[in-house]
Amino acid sequence: MSDQTALVTGATGLLGRQVVRAFERGKWNVKGTGYSRADGSSILKVDLVNAEQVEAALDNVKPQVVVHCAANRFPDKCDNDPEGTRALNVEATRRLASLCAARGIFLIYISTDYVFPGKPGDAPYEADAKPQPTNLYGQTKLDGEQVVLEEYQRAGKAGLGVVLRVPVLYGDAEVPSESAVNVLMESVWKAQESGAKVKMDHWALRYPTNGKFNITNITTTEDVGRVCYDVSLKYLNTDDPSKLPYILQFSSENKYTKYEICQLFGEIMGLSIAAIEPNTEGNDPNASVQRPYDCHLSTKALKDIGIDVATQDFTGWWRWSVKAFRK
């Protein structure tokens, strides 16, 4: 094993598990933090809003890299618990960044494409485009970005704290609800029930992202894990990381509405989606959570520093995942 160590917050989640695997494949020592699903061994039980627990974990593990995946990332849940969301997405992030910066630890903060307004005609967004979130989730993630950069700047360690924005993710989920993409397979199955009627968004454009196969476009959690590993090596092996970009973005290039993903799943599984009705109305103006139309992220900043932005083939991954090897 390497004498290099990574610590991954939210390591029991959809993305966190793949980030752990990416560093393990690189022969690093890896520890994760979790809460309700922590095993106390490879996954340390750490309440990220508790500064003492976070500090103890850092001093115990002594990582060279921290990848901060933990967040309240479901827009509706964020709206239902604004105080708890801000405590985790912003305040806990600030404390973690401050502690890491003081120790000279390289930190990757996982952010979201929802920092952008996603108005028709605006995308793709470059990393330096002006953020303007449309909902509380996007705002707290943007605030998290800002506190990370502030804390590293304050500590004189600019370049050791970076932001990585990603779109909606899919991958090897323990339960479908871990991913807004995976859960659509469940919707296709529900549509097979007698009398079923499912309304599905056919307005907002999404760029689902995963993988390790480097085939074509769409981002899986495996892809994001690999990028986190590659970025860590790049910044740790650079004499002056402050000369590298502080905000990076990773995304697939293929675009789908949720309804189009259901169509694809129906084709892969040989199932009818006649009971799924496309909804092209867009946001309900009275809804508390307003979702962007198109937040496609440009990957130029990653390409400019030599990071491979290839992503896994969406259809191919799902055929493999559900063992549907049909032509």
Structure confidence by residue, pLDDT tens digits, 108-120: 999 999 999 999 9
Query: Which entry of 109, 125, 137, 229 is annotated as an active-site residue?
Result: 137
At 312, is the pLDDT very low, low, confident or very high (cuts 50, 70, 90)? confident
Q: Structural domains in the chain?
A: 5-321 (3.40.50.720)
Contacts of 50 (CB under 8 A, 6+ apart): none
Checking if the pLDDT of 147 tops 50, the result is yes
Residue closest to 15 by CA, chosen among 142, 108, 135, 81: 108
Checking if the pLDDT of 148 tops 50, the result is yes
Task: Please give the pLDDT value at position 25.
Answer: 93
Q: Is 207 annotated in the active site? A: no
At 288, is the pLDDT very low, low, confident or very high (cuts 50, 70, 90)? confident
Over residues 6-22, mean pLDDT: 95
Over residues 273-298, mean pLDDT: 91
Task: Please give the pLDDT value at position 173.
Answer: 83
Task: Please give the pLDDT value at position 269.
Answer: 93
Residue closest to 70 by CA, chosen among 7, 113, 132: 7
At 324, is the pLDDT very low, low, confident or very high (cuts 50, 70, 90)? low
Rounded to 10°, the helix 314-321/258-269 angle is 50
Exposed (0-12), middle (13-18) or buried (19+): which is 324, by Cβ within 10 Å?
middle
Checking if the pLDDT of 322 tops 90, the result is no
The b-or-e profile of 137-148 (16+ CB within 10 A means b, else e) is bbbbbbbbbebb
Choose the most confident range, by mean pLDDT, from 67-81, 209-223, 293-307: 293-307
Give the chain's mean pLDDT: 92
Task: Please give the pLDDT value at position 216.
Answer: 35
Task: Please give the pLDDT value at position 222.
Answer: 83
Over residues 297-318, mean pLDDT: 93
Checking if the pLDDT of 2 tops 70, the result is no
Any long-range contacts for 321-324 (C-beta under 8 Å, 24+ apart)? 321/172, 322/185, 322/268, 322/269, 324/268, 324/269, 324/270
Task: Please give the pLDDT value at position 175.
Answer: 85
- Min mean pLDDT across 37-51, 93-107, 131-145, 261-275 is at 37-51
Checking if the pLDDT of 214 tops 60, the result is no
pLDDT digits (tens, 9 = 90+) for 186-195: 999 999 999 9
Contacts of 21 (CB under 8 A, 6+ apart): 222, 225
Over residues 98-114, mean pLDDT: 98
Over residues 265-271, mean pLDDT: 95
Task: Please give the pLDDT value at position 220.
Answer: 59
pLDDT digits (tens, 9 = 90+) for 26-83: 999 999 999 877 777 779 999 999 999 999 999 999 999 999 999 998 888 999 999 9
Checking if the pLDDT of 95 tops 60, the result is yes
End-to-end C-alpha distance for the chain, whole angstroms? 42
